[in-house]
Structure 1
Amino acid sequence: MQIIHALSEVSDRYRALFVDLWGCVHDGVRPYPGAVEALRAYRAGGGHVILVTNSPRPRAGVAEQIAEMGVTDDAYDDIATSGDSARTAMYRGAVGTRVWHLGPEFDAGFFQPPAVLDDPLAVERVPLEQAEGIVCTGPLDPFADPSVMRPQFLAAKTRGLKLLCANPDIVVDRGGVREWCAGAYAELYTEMGGESLYFGKPHPPIYDLARRRLGQIADVSDASILAIGDGPATDAAGAMGEDLDLLFISGGLGAEETATPEGGHPDPGKLNTYLAATGVAPTYVIGTLR
């Protein structure tokens, strides 16, 4: 493992980057200082950037969302989202055609059939008691403990309903405030004996999608791809499972544990303790993407 101070120290070893968004490029409110500039510089040097995010939104929705934050489209080539992977599976019948949607109404775009399917099934949102399956895009209240869903999950599990998780993230930090994500609900459902289906990081479908998006631009081997992320259970586990080199961002979810100050570098001792505790074995570590 090598602690670096700038992406440019190692970027010339790779032809493409698979870059996480939340915790790496932005904090849910605004871009991190230097992150967008680092990606622009990498692309200007001939590299390719695929944003790989566990957002439940389609890629067009993510592009619009990050543009409003100030992440301009010259910082990346394409986007692979957990939402696109999960949505394709849903319209192929992964959890039936009558589904109960657990998530905020602003995720309604998830229920638009993907253009990549020639003959998508007709999927209808219905109340839980009429549903054949559950589609979870996120919590209705991101600050409420997931256990509030136990009564509904018990009823669903008893009926053998599968839960499709559109975002495997457990938590995110929005502007420094921690929120629950869809992955926490899927985790609870599984603990209660239900079956949860995942399509985002660290699971293979989103990496297959990212490789397809990259393949439309250039033919790049896995050895020439660097994954960048801050989530031990998602970004890091996914990169390690796919045998990709990993640049771990210590100033994201693990900022407190690694003693990484804003814009600074991790404490080496605390970093090593954190990596050992989480099972993360990165190729490189950086405080923040820059």
Structure 2
Amino acid sequence: MRQSLSASSPRLEANVPSILAHAGPILTRYDVIFCDVWGVVHNGQTAFEGACRALEKFRDGGGTVIFVTNAPVPKRRVADMLAARKVPAKAWDDIVSSGDLALDHVTARGFQALHCIGPQDRDQALFSALRARSVPLAEAEAIICTGLNDDRNETPDDYRPLLEDALEKRLPFVCANPDLVVDVGGTLYYCAGAIADLYVHMGGEVFWAGKPYLNTYETAHQKAEALRNANVERNKVLVIGDALRTDLKGAQNYGCDALFIASGIHRHETVDGLDLSATKLSDLFGPGAPPALGAMLELAW
């Protein structure tokens, strides 16, 4: 039987973040924000105006904002997508994308022939940036995956036969988006991370280019220090995100504080009607969950 959280269980209650109406008093404690994009700044279609204003105000006060995203495309493409969704350029300073991390890894490993998985039109910015050739699986040195080829009709299990062949060849798998799912206007779609996770469980080797892995935060930290022309202690960095598995776990791994935004992929688990539910939040932040300083339905100053 599952035990309920109560006043008699202080250890469990301590892990449940308080529900906040305003983030300003927390944001002013920090010099740098590593901010998720999808689910925090926009919903895949339109910008969250309150979140954008909060980041603008933080920057106006001398803070630095690095968008840290598991988007499987180079940062120039992320910037274009932000502009298309009306996210103001003055809300951020720089971008770390999973797409760039994946491209850097491919270059470092010297791969010359890759089998590509993902929508060729939507993720063309990454595929066209590859120096390696795109080849059939039988000729590949590795797999690079940005997502499902058809995320509206396929599931990760549709790729099991291909992964079985890849495993037999001992092909490494470069995951250019560690997210399992993404929320697009209220609908959840599988991401590259769901295929990579299946490959891992089958015994395959995966390089995860993005959150919650340290390469992402190390890159973001280097960018922040370069922009500020100063060392930045990790206790002066705040991670803002909507996903426990990536954003909050990444903050915990890197030794930074985190702020949880419930309007993203955990919305259905945390929201009653239009309000953030304390009871549902307690269920989500059960034993073993990464910590957060507070929780908000949407980011607002």
TM-score of the superposition, structure 2-length normalised? 0.89
1:8 counterpart (1, 24, 27): 24
Alpha-carbon distance in structure 1 between the residues aligned to 2:289 and 2:112: 38
> Cα–Cα, structure 1 residues 182 and 205, in superposed 2: closer, same or farther, change >3 Å?
same
2:36 counterpart (14, 17, 20): 20
Q: CA deviation at 1:277?
A: 5.9
Does the 8 Å CA contact 1:138/1:167 hold for their aligned counterparts? yes
Alpha-carbon distance in structure 2 between the residues aligned to 1:113 and 1:153: 24
Secondary structure of 2:68's partner?
strand
Secondary structure of 1:216's partner?
helix
Does the 8 Å CA contact 1:91/1:113 hold for their aligned counterparts? no
Which residue is 2:133 aligned to? 124
Does the 8 Å CA contact 2:120/2:127 hold for their aligned counterparts? no
Alpha-carbon distance in structure 2 between the residues aligned to 1:243 and 1:272: 23
Name the amino acid aligned to 2:119.
P
Secondary structure of 2:144's partner?
strand
- 5+ residue gaps in structure 1? 115-121
Which residue is 1:58 aligned to? 74
1:149 counterpart (159, 175, 179): 159
Name the amino acid aligned to 1:243.
G
Establish whether residue 196 from structure 1 lines up as the match of residue 196 from structure 2.
Answer: no
Alpha-carbon distance in structure 1 between the residues aligned to 2:19 and 2:252: 18
Which residue is 1:91 aligned to? 107
Please say which of residues 66-75 and 33-42 is displaced more in the overlay: 33-42
1:29 counterpart (45, 48, 62): 45
Alignment deviations for residues 232-278 of structure 1 (CA, whole Å, 9 cap, x no partner):
1100110011110000112221112112545x4x2112211111166
Q: CA deviation at 1:3?
A: 2.3
Establish whether residue 104 from structure 1 lines up as the match of residue 119 from structure 2.
Answer: yes
> Cα–Cα, structure 1 residues 260 and 217, in superposed 2: closer, same or farther, change >3 Å?
farther
Identity among equivalent positions (%) equals: 36
> Cα–Cα, structure 1 residues 74 and 232, in superposed 2: closer, same or farther, change >3 Å?
same
2:176 counterpart (139, 163, 166): 166
Task: Give 1:270-285 correspondences, 5 Å limit.
Answer: 270-276=280-286, 279-285=289-295
Does the 8 Å CA contact 1:87/1:111 hold for their aligned counterparts? no
Which residue is 1:208 aligned to? 218
Name the amino acid aligned to 1:103.
G
Does the 8 Å CA contact 1:251/1:260 hold for their aligned counterparts? no
Alpha-carbon distance in structure 1 between the residues aligned to 2:96 and 2:253: 18
Does the 8 Å CA contact 1:251/1:261 hold for their aligned counterparts? no
TM-score of the superposition, structure 1-length normalised? 0.92
Please say which of residues 213-222 and 161-170 is displaced more in the overlay: 213-222
Q: CA deviation at 1:109?
A: 2.0
Alignment deviations for residues 205-231 of structure 1 (CA, whole Å, 9 cap, x no partner):
111110111111112211111100011
Deviating 4+ runs (over 3 angstroms): 111-114
Which residue is 2:143 aligned to? 134
